[in-house]
Amino acid sequence: MSDVAKPAPLPQWSFLSQNAAQLFYRLLAAFLICLVLSVLSESFLSLGNILNVLRQASLTFFIASGLTLVVLTAGLDLSVGANVALSACLAGTVIHQTGSPVLGILTGLAAGGTVGLMNGVMVTAMRIPSFIATYGMLWVLNGVTYWYMAGETIHGFPAGFRQIGSGYFLGLPIPVYLLLVFLAIGSFFAQRTTWGQEIYAIGANPVAARLSGIPVNRRLLLVYTVSGTMAGLASIIFLSRLNSAEADIGESLTLPAIAAVLIGGTSLFGGVGTIFGTFVGSLILTLVLNGMNLLSINANWQPLVTGIIVIIAVWLDMKTRRPTA
Amino acid sequence: MDHRKSCYLALSLLIASATTQARADGETIAVFTKNQTNPFFQTVRVGADNMAKALNAKILHYIPTKPDSIPEQLSQIEDVVVKKPSAIVFTPVDYKAMVPGVEKINDAKIPVVNITDRSAGGKFVSFIGADDYSLGLETGRFLLKTLGGKGNVVIIEGVKGSLTNVDRVRGFNDALKENPGAKLLASQPGNYQRLQALQVMENLMQSNAQIDGVLAANDAMAVGAIEALDGANRKALVIGINGTKEAIDAIKSGKLLASGDYNGFAQGCLGTMMAIRSLRGQPVIAEIVLKPTVITKDNYQPFDVSLEQRTCPSFEDASKLGAK
Amino acid sequence: MSDMAIVSPIRTLQRLPGVAIVLVLLIALFGAIAPGFLSAANLSNVLVQSTILTMLALPMTLIIMTEGIDLSMGAVLTLTSLCVAIVSLATTSMLLGLCAAVLVGTVFGLANGWLVAIAKIPPFVATLATLGMAHGLSLIVSDGQSVVGIPHSVRDIYSAHLLGIPVPILMGVASYGVFHGLLYHTRFGTYVFALGGNREALRYAGLSPTRLLITVYAIGGLMAGVAGLLMTARMNSGHPTAGLGLEFDAIAAVAVGGTSFERGNGWLLGTLLGVLAVGVLRNGLNLISLPSSVQVASVGVLVIAAMFLDGLRSRA
Amino acid sequence: MSAETSAATLDAASHVPLLELRGISKEFPGVKALDDVSFAIHPGEVHMLLGENGAGKSSLMKVLCGAYRADAGAIYYKGNQVTIGSTADAQTLGIAVIFQEFSLVPFLDIAQNMFLGREPKGRLPGTIDRRKILADARHVLEGIGFDIDPSVIVDTLGVAQQQMVEIAKAISQNARILVMDEPTAALSDREAELLFALIGRLKAEGVAIVYISHRMAEVFAIGDRITVLRDGRRIDQIRPADVTPEQLVRMMVGRNVDMTYPRHFAEQPGELVLQVKGLSATTGISDINIEVRRGEIVGLCGLVGSGRTEVARAIFGADPISEGEIIFDGKPIAGEPDVAARRGIALIPESRKSEGLALLRSVGDNLVVAALKKLFPSGLFDPRSAQRTADGLIRQLRIATPAARQTVGLLSGGNQQKVVIGKWLAAGARLFIFDEPTRGIDVGAKSEIFALIDRLVAEGAAALMISSEQIEICHVCDRAYVMREGRVAGHLARSELTEENIVRLGMHDE
């Protein structure tokens, strides 16, 4: 096999596991969508709408950023949506019962993290493929949430709490700040910490990573817990933004989050991708939906358009991917 | 609600609750609803439970594990027919696609009462439902009257193709036609979902500088739209439909202008009542279409009680409620 | 383990535990506590209800054996079901409806195969995208509405009996028979093992993995088309969301049935047992009238438990 | 048979080459894989093909079997020009190839694997005649003296058995020309002997064999003719009798290479580094007692499957142990590989590509992966500092890569192995466990790897080295343990370290 040492073009950056060209195409795509929309709809380029897009992208991004870490290890977490629903309902109850938003937030994060940890345990200790383990978890979470909520809605939260999702600071919505903060933290974690590097190594070759002295199982537990906690965070934003929660809020969140990760250039085979890419992916997805709303396009076209975008994004990846052995 | 409180204390009651079915000596009534997530169907189920308790019958609930799943509800019908309950109170997840299921029930000679969505086929002892068209029309009229017959209005639709949505939106549009001074800016679907409605509203506010009224096809979407308006520091009058607890609270606090009462509680009560009456050989009313009530700040008090405390209407009340 | 010369029947027995034990336990449990569970009518119900899922899970087994996946199957089934409704409504011919459904299904299958085998897009992504397209097309062609008024010849398929056995069961059994023969007794089946196990081996044997892979996905689409007919017959109408999400049920059945996502290690009978285990669970829980939320959670518990059992055995 | 007569028969046979390649060239972007190579294959002859990795052997093979199309040159079959445009064409000409990386499908049985793509037709279209395929397979297996049920699933077989299936598969194609790529790489000596006997029988039947090997001993044991390739060019074609091993190596490498791997043996072994006491594991090893001291290279030999790799993995914590104790640096050690790595143990695994490297990541990423904790104790990763460490290692180990950001999968085998060793240098390991460190590495790179190991122990590290090539053990190790059937069968001091002793201790039926 190695008879012919093919000299191949060198990747642009080595320690960022995604090369600049791919990121460039992705940003270009986002820019082109913006350009087309601004021509078609005059209200698109208004500051209000741009903030609007960012705020809507933030919810997808929170879920998708945690999911990115899971996908980097060549895993998948199908339970994130159901996790958001359960965490939101629990957090909402705690706020109602105790009147303390802080306790509520902590409950949401802890619930999300616990579910993530359980996913991690199934994947590591019980050695169930992540795809199936989290699918099972999805049903279990739905069951618990349905039973717990019994068809009710939790609504009406203190004004202070509601600021998180709908408030403004210096003219920008607070979720946008949170988005930027978590984008920075996530990128820093993935690129500039040894744990992040180990996660990339695990995704690229779990056996080699283990035999290089990386505690693979502990890192996987961490990754699934972080993914769950990010779902918990999303549940808080959701709760605060909509001022209410019910059992079915998670259903429509999982597939867009996965799509955002994929559009962002993270490979399902693990080891390749960035949090920033996922941010751009969330942005592209939100831009398209925003555009369809602004142009009053029939919502029936939405799944079709999303599907086409996923294909184009991944196809672009194939064209610009770093050469393989 | 107390269900949830107990859970707040101990989550592990899950299995225990499985075994605490109410026992009764009377008839067994199987109640089919669309999903476990929409608060409306919870009001239906509580209504059915209340009525069964009063009449000493036993209720079994059948709800698809995937919300609104047609194949699952069909499977549940097939399973229930084997079990042979005394009667069935039935909400089809889809009014057309469930017809073969209803026919299966008919073939098994189990009396069945249709509630909420009128099935497109099959034989029923009785139909209990609300008039979606009138609800849309009346709530729409109320909004436009409050606006003085003019202004910019948007509609947030439910799930395309669902029976309730088609009729409610038709009602909204007819109300708009009666008020030529009002202008319809957009009619976009929010799929009966809070988050989608919120995002649709946010986006619509970008392309429309002035929105005076919002007609939402259910309460969850209406509340979502209100959150969007609040977030943008804009004001508009919003109406919803269903009369859920959340909507009542919003009306009380002045955020929501009005909600059309879909009265799931009464539907559950009356559906169960008709089923049991037919089993007991008592006269039944073949069709009750509940008259639309627009719940506003002026008349919300009777609706502001917890479900468990509400009482089912009597048979005599029922005949007045909208018998044709 | 590795030094034992294991011949296929013993191998099958060794693999039985995971899903088969769960299935036997479920049947025993419900037989004991659920009145009427063991009646012929009820068992026939379970089988009839399992046919559509079986028809998806069988080709899904082959697809997963090629280290692939088809997320679009539920959405394609929905679309083909609508095709049956629309075409049979327009032409009053059930056969033309079936043809249209099979055609549309196969086209989607071919598209999946093309994306995976030629465009080299990872199967998860490719079929996630076609899921969107099929779902979108379903909404567009139906405008979100149910399609009703279709000829009785369609619905009769679901309710008809042949030799006293419901036709859907016969179709399910026939599907299993065809797939069993296809996988274990034909050249094509042999190559399916090779697609996941060692694609190079195929190339050295002068065979085209590309064409074989496309065929596997096309079979998936074709079966979604046939299942679409059953779905429409069952509802006596077409509905734009009726089959969404079924692909995950099918994937879970395949995984629970002991087919691995790697190296072409598949077990067709396990898939069938997996489908039946889920069917029995739902049916039994309906009969004993547990709260619906418990039903939801127990599906998840079943999936996790069966996989965990399998994991325990593979480690032993 | 005297040298003259065998040469005479060779010459007589060479009048009718079964297959002849003339002036074959093949170019890939930037690289000339084959440059004007001519090559003739005669019936009843074993033609050895020698060359370092990258010399063009595999490309030549792929041209032969139709996987590649030559850019220039012609192919003649029994004197007539032919084109081999596909594997099917090659099969028609009776060319069968046994690849180094197996072409077997794990979850099919032996018979299905042997006849993949050539299944006997059953009664119904598309079906397989099960009875016939099993009978045919049994017939072929008996013919090569491999006693096994053809309905056994291949995945349950060991490596050596899989190799035999691979050979049976080639034979079953009625091949007139059999190409073997390092067929003994995974075989024990005894299994290799069986293979050589089989090759003898095939020769007698007039089958032509092209045999690629890195093992000098084989070249002289079974070769009738030798072609040496270097940098895509044919350097020489020669008979074994006319050449010495040293000359062959010089031809392959293009320079003089010392094949004795000189060591600087320490006068006095250092303190005890590793002590394994009564170690047993469920992977099939029991009651292992091993000691390794500073400054030593300790060999661990025995047949393939005797438990060598399992011992290495157990010491490193990669497999759980059921009994016994491992003492490292005076303190017991237990747990997962991360514990062993933190304490200073390194494992250089047998399978470089699947267990040693993340092939799609860069050289730099792979070099620092084991040292992240050591380099960045705060947990904050600094790409620039990592880059410096990687660059330093690349220089120190003379890894031939254009830059640290090159994808590691694109390096040659020897350089990949250096990367695996390098990552443990960065991590500051003090005990190196090498599992077949020279597998698939060409002659020149081998001596570099050994020099590196020598330097490591000279600087105070300790090494435990597994190798199937007894000659390497004899040259390089201070002493060695020999394993047999999961147990340590004996210990050989430096003075006793000979190939004969290793074989004697390692044989099953002693």
* Residue D364 in contact with partner chain A when CB distance is under 8 A: yes
Task: Show the DSSP H helices in chain A as ranges.
Answer: 20-40, 47-72, 80-98, 101-124, 130-149, 159-166, 174-192, 194-204, 206-210, 216-242, 254-263, 275-294, 302-320
Report if residue D15 sits inside a domain: no
Report if residue B299 sits inside a domain: no
Report if residue B55 sits inside a domain: yes
Report if residue B6 sits inside a domain: no
Nearest CA in chain A to B229: A166
Q: Closest by alpha carbon to D450, among D297, D304, D316?
A: D297
pTM: 0.85
State yes or no: pLDDT of B317 exceeds 90: no
**Whether residue D331 is found in the same domain as residue D456:** yes
State yes or no: pLDDT of D166 exceeds 50: yes
**Whether residue D298 is found in the same domain as residue D224:** no
pLDDT in tens, C37-81: 888 888 988 999 899 999 999 999 999 999 899 999 999 999 999
Q: Would you say D166 and C20 are in contact if contact means Cβ atoms under 8 Å apart?
A: no
Q: What is the CATH number of the domain that holds B187?
A: 3.40.50.2300
**Whether residue D325 is found in the same domain as residue D338:** yes
Give me the residue from C139, C148, C158 closest to B120, CB to CB: C148
Q: Do C45 and B78 touch (CB under 8 A)?
A: yes
Q: Which of D191, D223, D253 finishes a domain?
A: D253
Q: Which residues of chain A fall below pLDDT 70?
A: 1-22, 320-325
Domains of chain A: 20-317 (1.10.3470)
* Residue D344 in contact with partner chain A when CB distance is under 8 A: no
pLDDT in tens, C236-286: 888 888 888 888 889 989 988 888 887 888 889 989 999 999 899 988 888
Nearest CA in chain D to C182: D127
Q: What are phi and psi of B45, to 5 degrees?
A: -65, -40
Report if residue B115 sits inside a domain: yes
Count CB-CB contacts under 10 A for residue B283.
10
pLDDT in tens, C101-148: 999 999 999 999 999 999 888 888 889 889 989 998 998 888 878 888
Report if residue D202 sits inside a domain: yes
- Copy the structure tokens of residue D361: 């990541």
Q: What is the pLDDT of residue B7?
A: 41
Residue with the larger pLDDT of the pair D159 and A146: A146
**Whether residue B136 is found in the same domain as residue B253:** yes
Q: Closest by alpha carbon to D150, among C310, B193, C8?
A: C8
Q: Do D105 and C204 touch (CB under 8 A)?
A: no
Report if residue B297 sits inside a domain: no
CA–CA separation, C208 and C188 (whole Å) = 12
Give me the residue from C125, C296, C308 closest to A310, CB to CB: C125
CA–CA separation, D1 and D194 (whole Å) = 22
**Whether residue B140 is found in the same domain as residue B94:** no
Report if residue B17 sits inside a domain: no
* Residue D119 in contact with partner chain C when CB distance is under 8 A: yes
Q: What is the ipTM of this complex?
A: 0.82
Q: What is the CATH number of the domain that holds D443?
A: 3.40.50.300
**Whether residue D183 is found in the same domain as residue D279:** no
Q: Would you say D50 and D219 are in contact if contact means Cβ atoms under 8 Å apart?
A: yes
**Whether residue B138 is found in the same domain as residue B246:** yes
- Copy the structure tokens of residue A126: 């019980």
* Residue A208 in contact with partner chain D when CB distance is under 8 A: yes
**Whether residue D167 is found in the same domain as residue D315:** no
CA–CA separation, A39 and A41 (whole Å) = 6
**Whether residue D101 is found in the same domain as residue D186:** yes
Q: How many domains does chain B have?
A: 2
Strand pairing of B213-216 and B237-242? parallel
Which residue range(s) make up the domain with C188?
46-315
Q: Do C205 and D109 touch (CB under 8 A)?
A: no
Residue to substitute from C78, C118, C128, interface A, most A β-carbons within 10 A: C128
* Residue A214 in contact with partner chain D when CB distance is under 8 A: yes
CA–CA separation, B219 and B199 (whole Å) = 15
Report if residue D74 sits inside a domain: no
Q: Closest by alpha carbon to D115, among D79, D91, D93, D99?
A: D91
> In the structure, what pLDDT confidence band is assigned to residue B139 with cuts at 50, 70 and 90?
very high
Whole-number CA gyration radius for chain C: 20
For residue B78, the chain C residues in CB contact (below 8 A) are: 45, 48-49
State yes or no: pLDDT of C100 exceeds 90: yes
Q: How many domains does chain C have?
A: 1
Residue to substitute from A70, A252, A311, interface C, most C β-carbons within 10 A: A311
Q: What is the pLDDT of residue B25?
A: 56
Which residue range(s) make up the domain with D99?
44-67+86-253
**Whether residue B187 is found in the same domain as residue B219:** yes
**Whether residue B84 is found in the same domain as residue B109:** yes
pLDDT in tens, D476-508: 899 999 988 888 988 999 888 887 788 778 765
Distances in whole angstroms, Cα of residue C276 to Cα of each of A171, C24, C52, C170, C270: 57, 10, 12, 15, 10
pLDDT in tens, B53-110: 888 898 999 998 888 888 889 988 988 888 889 999 999 998 888 888 999 899 999 9
**Whether residue B318 is found in the same domain as residue B246:** no
State yes or no: pLDDT of B8 exceeds 50: no
CA–CA separation, D415 and D413 (whole Å) = 5
Report if residue C264 sits inside a domain: yes
Q: Which of C123-127, D12-16, D464-468 has the lowest mean pLDDT?
A: D12-16
Strand pairing of B28-32 and B58-62? parallel
Q: Do B83 and C48 touch (CB under 8 A)?
A: no
Q: Do chains B and D touch (3 or more CB pairs under 8 A)?
A: no
Question: Residue range B229-257: average pLDDT?
Answer: 89
Q: What is the CATH number of the domain that holds C58?
A: 1.10.3470
State yes or no: pLDDT of D2 exceeds 60: no
Residue with the larger pLDDT of the pair D63 and D312: D312
State yes or no: pLDDT of D326 exceeds 70: yes
Q: How many domains does chain D have?
A: 3
For residue A195, the chain D residues in CB contact (below 8 A) are: 379
Mean pLDDT of chain A: 85
CA–CA separation, C206 and C53 (whole Å) = 35
Rounded to 10°, the helix C268-287/C167-185 angle is 150
> In the structure, what pLDDT confidence band is assigned to residue C313 with cuts at 50, 70 and 90?
low
**Whether residue B36 is found in the same domain as residue B89:** yes
Q: What is the pLDDT of residue B318?
A: 77
For residue A311, the chain C residues in CB contact (below 8 A) are: 115, 121, 125-126, 129
Q: Closest by alpha carbon to D238, among D251, D250, D225?
A: D225
* Residue D102 in contact with partner chain C when CB distance is under 8 A: yes
Report if residue C290 sits inside a domain: yes
Report if residue D36 sits inside a domain: no
Percent of chain B's residues with pLDDT above 90: 36
**Whether residue D104 is found in the same domain as residue D159:** yes
- Copy the structure tokens of residue C9: 């029947």
* DSSP character at residue D67: S
